[in-house]
Amino acid sequence: MTTATDITQKIEEIGTMAGYKLARHPQLPDMLVCPFDMGNGRSQSVYIMPSGQTPAGEDLACFMSPCQALKKGLLGSMSKNQAVDLLKRNAGLVTGCFAIESMGDTDMLVVRSTQIVPTMEIEEFKFQVNLVALIADEYEREHGNDVF
């Protein structure tokens, strides 16, 4: 059986071959962190981690980039209009989605996408990591932020 550490190591190898500088998260060793310089003084972080399996048993990786901290609770500090906007944005995405993820004591609005790991190629890694970074940064920029 493949362990989370094995999956993370495979993802790390592919990311390194793709030319990305990846670091292990200090508190979560099976999570990789990929920092991005988005230009114009903006930055974005992408977190990559094992995230279960397909129905056929293939290991999956989650690529995730935060774009807003939320208060705890149902939809946190999100207004109804913002929630509707996010649903409309989700409908327009070719792949990936906006989601709410708990990270420690904070709920985060993130852009996330999944990829099958055993067959993942360098171009697929690049696509996933860039996709979530660009969409999250665009959302932050539209809301006048550059926190993540």
> Tens of pLDDT along the chain (148 residues)?
678 889 999 999 999 999 999 999 888 889 999 998 888 888 899 999 999 999 999 999 999 999 988 877 656 577 888 888 889 999 999 899 999 888 777 888 999 999 999 999 999 999 999 999 999 999 988 877 766 6
- The side-by-side arrangement of strands in the sheet containing 59-70 is 23-24, 32-39, 42-53, 59-70, 106-116, 97-103
| Amino acid at position 47, single letter | Y
Which pLDDT score, from 0 to 100, does residue 139 have? Answer: 92
- The alpha carbon dihedral of 51, 61, 115, 44 has a sign of positive
Domains of the chain by range and CATH?
A: 4-142 (3.30.1460.10)
Length of the chain: 148
Residue 115: exposed, middle, or buried by beta-carbon count in 10 A (0-12, 13-18, 19+)?
buried
